[in-house]
Structure 1
Amino acid sequence: MSKKIQAAVVGVGFIGKQHIEAIHRIPNTQVVALVEPNGESAKRAAESYGIDHYFTSIDDMLNMDGIDVVHICTPNFLHYPMAKQCVEAGLNVFCEKPLSLTTLESNELKELARKHSVYTAVNLNYRSNVMIREMKHRISSGMIGTPLLGQAQYIQDWLMFDTDYDWHFDPSKVGPSRSVADIGTHLFDLIQFVYGEKIVKVFADLMIVYPTRKKREQTGETFALEYGDTVTEVDVVNEDAAFILVQLESGIKVSMDISQVTGGYKNGVELVVSGSKHSLSWHQERADRLIIGNRASGNEELYADPKYIDPSLRRFISLPNGHAVGWADAFKNSISEFYEDIRNDGHNDSQSYVDFETGHTLMKLVEASLQSSKEKRWIDME
């Protein structure tokens, strides 16, 4: 029997619960411990999910034997110090994105992971959707001809009003970037992943649409906040939206449209690749479809079904045609492939997750975008 992976999850808010539920879907795994500063919240979550151990500090959790991997599901500013603690303790780490607040921090984590020979991952789960994998296959195999250009979009509306305010607006908790670091990193990763090329140049225009916002007392989790009546005017210092143009190694240019203030879009991730024979379009809110665009005939809509995709990708589909695979499935796929690397000592070349080295590269792209917007020029990536 293959090794049972025993995991600890740090943070039991919205995203921490998604990690727990994804792990529970993977055979031969077990969440054995939770960490949450609020003792009552930690106890409730442990009882709800049937988890034996819970702690109010990561230090206490690190004294527990038998943990193979730690999932860090906390606000951004805690990613670096917690990941550092776990790596230095010799534990494998699956961290939420972005990996850190700065490239100095992400570079240190990358080097520590090498030094301690641990497996690391950053949660950029869209690359593990089966139709993104099919898109990558069709590009690399030449099925769409020569790639010409592309568009990428990640737009949301959860911060659309000037009364929307939470910890994401505090640079001490998220760093100098909000929307590019939070959702733009997904697009940077998807673009490099599906084209199989690195981004070598960046030109960005970052925008703050509300110079001030109305901060109110709040309770609840991200995307489900409830507000009190007391209002304080707060200056906004990080971006609500961005237009970014990137250039790949081959010279292909891809435009990126990022917004957290666009009404009616809940999680609007879209990717379009224009080839000399066909185009490919993927929309996250219809994640089980891939649109093949044709000039001389009608467009094709490809469903996520083992019969229609490359045989090497069938393991990414857990449901039959018509039972839509989506966000939670890609999430589970990323963790599952990461765990297989831990079990098999790295003999997995599926590229289904982002390690700390790539996480560091994504942080460099965030900082390049900030520099480009400030200096109004193209920034070359080193």
Structure 2
Amino acid sequence: MNGFSDLGVAVIGTGFIGTVHIGALRRLGMHITGVLGSNAARGAERAAALGVPRAYDSLDQLLVDPAVDAVHVTSPNHAHYAQVKAILAAGKHVICEKPLAMTSAESAEMVELARASGRVAAVCYNTRFYPLNQQARGMVAAGDLGDIRLVTGHYHQDWLARASDWNWRLETDEGGTLRSVADIGTHWIDLVSFIAGARPTAILAELATFIPERQRPLGPVETFAKAGGQASEARHIETDDAALILLRFANGARGSITTSQVSHGRKNAMNWEISGADGSAAWDSEHPDHLWLGHREVPNQVLQRDPGLMNALGSAAASLPGGHVEGFADTFFSLFRAVYTDILAGRRSEQANYASFEDGHYEMLFCDAVIRSAREGGWVDVGGQG
């Protein structure tokens, strides 16, 4: 194989995020072999709408297609474990949406299967690939901020702010025991751990379900879409609308995060601030082309994303010249570019900075710790961390 166009890629899932994956793959020049929908009719309908040549009738049919080298898993959370196992057993590379699994027992097994397979296995924590987040990682690694002391921030949305809002993630059998933490909170934890070069080893968490009863439409609803006046039924909700979590990091830093899917006006607001002994940095996903840099003795700075002004990590992640805003969809392009470069090489490179299955497993251990802390009312260690 010589280039991306020589690789065949199939996508499982045809909703919002599956469509984002397809757009980024096309931008890379990948050969998209087909999609697998939630059922044959849905798959055929979406394949036609997306201009994809084929809709597979089943996962088995997808996996025996010799044209498929890699598979993207964008299905609901409960399907990840079985689908990824089958993909790896078929000898295909895999890129799985977050969270990796429903439980840490599942994710631990997936890590071992990925190692044994020799295939490239990645988790789609795309926010690492905003170029200024790569810039920040390079700055921390170079010691520009000094020893890291404090890591704070939030991830807030409003798409589930009303009792009439609905999504499959609200169901524990499809989305898991945690919702705001597993869906968006693990994005934040993965990102700040990546930037700071250290993970939380202990946490103190409080979970809140502000809307204990919601109206579930009797028909399908796309992620971020409104139900549109469909007939509905009342459903009791057990998953978290929001969470407040204190953090202790392996390097001695302290931190905090709030997650919310019920904050009116916040569409996709991910924010972090890292304070070190020699300086601070902050970034906000709603203004992704600017990195705030804080100083004490000299004026503060704002670095606009410009490859010519950034460090090696930051400029390598940038795709457009300065002043041409790179956003959400661009992160998938940059992430997939890194993953498929390794797939062409036959293995994950030592310099790879996309999330591995090991990273995805850590996030499941983090979710376990959140649940334990919320139930027990105290600090708990994140399993498997020294």
- TM range, smaller chain: over 0.9
Q: Distance in 1 between matches of 2:18 and 2:34?
A: 12
Unaligned 5+ runs, structure 2: none
For 1:236, the equivalent position in structure 2 comes to 237
Q: Distance in 2 between matches of 1:190 and 1:374?
A: 26
For 1:12, the equivalent position in structure 2 comes to 14
Which of these residues, 25, 28, 38, is aligned with residue 26 of structure 1? Answer: 28
Q: How far 1:376 sits from its partner (Å)?
A: 0.8
Q: Secondary structure at the match of 1:377?
A: coil
Q: Secondary structure at the match of 1:366?
A: helix
State the one-letter code of the partner of 1:356: F
For 1:2, the equivalent position in structure 2 comes to 2
Q: Is the contact made by 2:135 and 2:313 (CA closer than 8 Å) also made in structure 1?
A: no
Q: How far 1:312 sits from its partner (Å)?
A: 4.3
Are residue 111 (structure 1) and residue 112 (structure 2) matched? Answer: yes
Write the mapping of 1:143-292 to structure 2, written as runs, cut at 5 A: 143-292=144-293
Q: How far 1:311 sits from its partner (Å)?
A: 3.0
Q: How far 1:48 sits from its partner (Å)?
A: 4.1
Encode CA deviations 1:63-113: one digit per residue, 9 max, x unaligned.
Answer: 211211000111111111111111111111101111111111111111111
State the one-letter code of the partner of 1:244: I
Q: Distance in 2 between matches of 1:79 and 1:207?
A: 26
Q: How far 1:231 sits from its partner (Å)?
A: 4.0
Q: Secondary structure at the match of 2:105?
A: helix
> Which stretch of structure 1 is more off in the superposition, 237-246 or 164-173?
164-173
> Which stretch of structure 1 is more off in the superposition, 339-348 or 106-115?
339-348
Q: Secondary structure at the match of 2:214?
A: strand
Q: How far 1:369 sits from its partner (Å)?
A: 0.5
Query: TM-score, normalised on structure 1?
Result: 0.95
Encode CA deviations 1:155-178: one digit per residue, 9 max, x unaligned.
Answer: 001111122222111111011111
Q: Distance in 2 between matches of 1:219 and 1:51?
A: 22
Q: Distance in 2 between matches of 1:162 and 1:50?
A: 35
Q: Is the contact made by 2:120 and 2:348 (CA closer than 8 Å) also made in structure 1?
A: no
> Which stretch of structure 1 is more off in the superposition, 160-169 or 217-226?
217-226
For 2:44, the equivalent position in structure 1 comes to 43
State the one-letter code of the partner of 1:95: C
Q: Is the contact made by 2:165 and 2:226 (CA closer than 8 Å) also made in structure 1?
A: no
Alignment root-mean-square deviation, CA? 1.6
Q: Secondary structure at the match of 1:25?
A: helix
Q: Distance in 2 between matches of 1:258 and 1:56?
A: 37
For 1:68, the equivalent position in structure 2 comes to 69
Q: Distance in 2 between matches of 1:198 and 1:375?
A: 22
Q: Distance in 2 between matches of 1:164 and 1:312?
A: 40
Q: How far 1:273 sits from its partner (Å)?
A: 0.4
State the one-letter code of the partner of 1:18: V
Q: How far 1:347 sits from its partner (Å)?
A: 5.7
For 1:100, the equivalent position in structure 2 comes to 101
Q: Secondary structure at the match of 2:358?
A: helix
Q: How far 1:322 sits from its partner (Å)?
A: 1.0
For 2:370, the equivalent position in structure 1 comes to 369
Write the mapping of 1:75-94 to structure 2, written as runs, cut at 5 A: 75-94=76-95
For 2:324, the equivalent position in structure 1 comes to 323
Q: Is the contact made by 1:156 and 1:263 (CA closer than 8 Å) also made in structure 2?
A: yes
State the one-letter code of the partner of 1:22: A
Q: Distance in 2 between matches of 1:312 and 1:162?
A: 43
The change in CA–CA distance for 1:118 and 1:183 in structure 2 (over 3 A counts) is same
Q: Is the contact made by 1:158 and 1:261 (CA closer than 8 Å) also made in structure 2?
A: yes
> Which stretch of structure 1 is more off in the superposition, 305-314 or 234-243?
305-314
Q: Is the contact made by 1:148 and 1:276 (CA closer than 8 Å) also made in structure 2?
A: yes
Q: Distance in 1 between matches of 2:281 and 2:219?
A: 42
Query: TM-score, normalised on structure 2?
Result: 0.94
Q: Distance in 2 between matches of 1:317 and 1:252?
A: 29
State the one-letter code of the partner of 1:354: A
Q: Is the contact made by 2:219 and 2:230 (CA closer than 8 Å) also made in structure 1?
A: no
Q: How far 1:6 sits from its partner (Å)?
A: 1.1
> Which stretch of structure 1 is more off in the superposition, 215-224 or 86-95?
215-224
State the one-letter code of the partner of 1:2: N
Unaligned 5+ runs, structure 1: none
Among all aligned residue pairs of Structure 1 and Structure 2, give the percentage whose two residues are the same amino acid: 34
> Which stretch of structure 1 is more off in the superposition, 30-39 or 286-295?
30-39
Q: Distance in 1 between matches of 2:15 and 2:230?
A: 24
Q: Distance in 1 between matches of 2:293 and 2:234?
A: 48
Q: Secondary structure at the match of 1:107?
A: helix
Q: Distance in 2 between matches of 1:145 and 1:279?
A: 9
Q: Secondary structure at the match of 1:226?
A: coil
Q: Distance in 2 between matches of 1:220 and 1:175?
A: 18
Q: Secondary structure at the match of 1:97?
A: coil
